[in-house]
Amino acid sequence: MKEKVEIECIFCKKGKVNALFYPSILQTSKSRAAGRTITKYYMTKERYEVISDCPNCGKKAKEIQKALQEGKNDPEREKKIMDRLKQQGIMFREIKRKI
């Protein structure tokens, strides 16, 4: 089921990293109660498991894996945004969601 693929680095967009690709599959779940069996079908999500570091930017496989799962987090960009908000006089406690 799993397949070895090369994907581009999410950080530098230039380097190629090796990853294992797990496609979405149909699975079943059975529950039994009072002599009755119910079978439910559901699809699993497709996912990537990064197995090599980026040769271009030097990011570790764990960092790339985390960025693929949670989304890319750029602290420099967030700092610039917070500095701009500070210059405009917006209070940090008033910001409800993460930028």
Domain ranges of the chain: 3-71
pLDDT at 76: 74
Residue 91: helix, strand or coil by DSSP? coil
- Torsion angles phi and psi, residue 19, rounded to 5: -150, 155
Tokens of 26: 């149909």
> Which pLDDT tens digit goes with each residue over 61-78?
998 888 888 876 667 777
- For all residues of the chain together, what is the average pLDDT? 83
Q: Scanning the structure block, which residue is given the tokens 């699809």? A: 43
CA-to-CA distance for 5 and 22, rounded, in angstroms?
A: 10
